[in-house]
Structures are given as structure tokens and as C-alpha cells.
Amino acid sequence: MAAESGNAPVVLDVVGLTRSFGAVRANDAVSLDLVTGEIHALIGPNGAGKSTFISQVAGDLAPDSGSIRFQGRDIGQMSAAQRARLGMARTFQISSLIPEFTVLENAMLAHLGRLGESMRFFAPVARDRKLRQLARTCLERVGLDSRHRERVSEISHGERRLLEIAIALALEPAVFLLDEPMAGLDQEGSRMLIGLLDSLRQTAPVLLVEHDMDAVFALADRISVLVDGRLIATGQPDAIRSDDTVRAAYLGVEHP
């Protein structure tokens, strides 16, 4: 299953990403790549700068320096919306959905964005068969179709996590950037999501930020470890598990 980063084409190539907040270097020259077919996990203690990294790659936060190449193009100057249209699908650490919308409307909005059809002013969106069909297909894939009429404010936390993934799928992504998709899930929910995430890599490579180490070691082809804004190791799960620096800096602390 594990992809060899040597052979598979590189989809996302981040070099030397640096970002400071005041005196704190949240990301210090972080370099990381993502190749076709892999799940690349980014782990590290709280406050290590993982979300900062994702936000910069997705275009929600401007880096101080460094380059981001996506499918061979330099996307450093593009807005978050432009990157999303190129197929960069992110989920948020804290569920970030449209609360007053139904599940279906949330998924439709994503398709609207991908198709570039947000500037249509007259036809009612609710009666757009094509858009509905596309949206329901994505909901089906994550097992949410039966809940498509519910308002987001009324569905469970676990269902919101799934909806985030459905929205990412709607973008027909070339890469997934998943920021702690398991956060707050119970064991049952986690197990289900692990299965779903596992299947995502066939659609597009996944950059997975996650605290649940069982999930990380079950899913990841490669793991990078971020501590205090610096990348201290990148490698296959076995190598990371036995890496002394990593054990001392991170794993050793949380998993004695």
C-alpha cells in the first residue's frame, strides 16, 4: 500500500515554509511533499504549528517565506478560493460549516464553487437537479445521504465531521488537507472514519493532521513530525516509531 516517494509523481511540494506570529516562529522552514496515492500524516504536540501549516498551504494565511508548488505550479500568490478551484480540498479542525443550511445545501455549495457557477442569479438553486444529484452522490459516499434534509445545527458532531469530508469530496480534489478529522469523535465514530479516510487516497493524496496515534499509524504511508514549528523527522511509520529524536520530543511523552 505504501507509496514510494521516489517513484510516484509529486502532487504537492512545500519548501521552506516559514511564518512567525510576533516573536514566535509557528513554522520554521518546513518542507514537505505529497505524492500520488499516499496518506502523509503530520503529527506533533499541541501548538507545534500544524494548523498554521495547513492554513498556509490552503491559502488562508500568508507565509513569511517559502514556496508551495501544486501539480507543478507555483501557487504561492493564489487566494484560498483559487487554490480550492484547482482541487485543493481542506477540512477544518473545528467543524466549519454553514450552520443555517441543510446538509444538502452545504454539499451543493461546494459543487457550486467547483463548477464556478456562483454567479447565476435567476434560477432557484434548490431546483437544480444536476447540482442536487452531485451533492447527494458525495453525501452517499460518506454515508450521510439519509440525513440530507437536516439542518447542520441539528446534526451530531460525528455527522458534521463526515459532512466536512463530503464537502472536500465535492471539490473533486487533487489533494486533501485534513486538519484533525477525528477530533472529538468516540471510538465507534473514529473506526468508521478511519475506513473512510483509508479509501480517500484512491481519489487523491491526503495530508493528514491528526492527534489520534492509532489512526495515524493505521493509515499513514509516511509521517512527518513537527515540534515547535520545526520538522524533526519524516519517514515511514516504522522508522518514525523507532526514531530516538521523535520519541524524546513527542511520542515518548504522550505514549510512554
Partner 1 sequence: MTPRLASTAVVLLLLAVPLAGTILNEPWLITLATRVAILGLAGVGLNLVLGYGGMVSLGHAAYFGIGGYVAGILAHHALEGHPLMAWPVALGGTDSMIVIWLVAIVCGALLALLIGSLSLRTTGVYFIMITLAFAQMIYYFTISWPAYGGEDGLPIYVRNSLFGLDTMDPMTFFMIVFVVLVIVIFLVSRVVQSNFGLALNAVRQNEARVRSVGIGGFRIRLVAFVMSGAITALAGALFVDLNRFVSPSMLSWHTSGEIMIFVILGGVARLWGPIAGAALYVFLEQVLGSMTEHWQFWVGLLLIVVVLHARGGIMGFTSGRHSHGG
Q: Where on the chain is the footprint of partner 1 (CB under 8 A)? A: 58-60, 79-82, 84-85, 89-90, 92, 96-101, 105, 108-110, 112-114, 116-126, 128, 131, 167, 170-171
| 90/201 with CB nearer partner 1 | 90
CB of residue 8 to partner 1, shortest distance in Å: 26
Taking a C-beta distance cutoff of 8 angstroms, is the pair 51, 96 a contact?
A: no
Joined together, the cell numbers standing for residue 88 give: 485543493
Alpha carbons 130 and 227: distance in angstroms, whole number: 46
Joined together, the cell numbers standing for residue 189 give: 465514530
Q: Pairing between strand 24-35 and 39-43?
A: unpaired
Question: Helix or strand or coil: residue 149?
Answer: coil
| 48/97 with CB nearer partner 1 | 97
| 82/133 with CB nearer partner 1 | 82
CB of residue 133 to partner 1, shortest distance in Å: 15
CB of residue 79 to partner 1, shortest distance in Å: 6
Torsion, Cα 159 160 164 170, to 10 degrees, reads 60
Joined together, the cell numbers standing for residue 16 give: 521552506
| 166/216 with CB nearer partner 1 | 166
| 84/246 with CB nearer partner 1 | 84
CB of residue 122 to partner 1, shortest distance in Å: 5
The residues near 224 (Cβ < 8 Å, ≥ 6 apart) are 32, 40, 41, 42, 43, 231, 233, 234
Alpha carbons 4 and 185: distance in angstroms, whole number: 31
CB of residue 140 to partner 1, shortest distance in Å: 19
Q: Which residues pair with 209 in a beta bridge?
A: 42, 179
The length of the chain is 256
CB of residue 60 to partner 1, shortest distance in Å: 7
| 176/250 with CB nearer partner 1 | 176
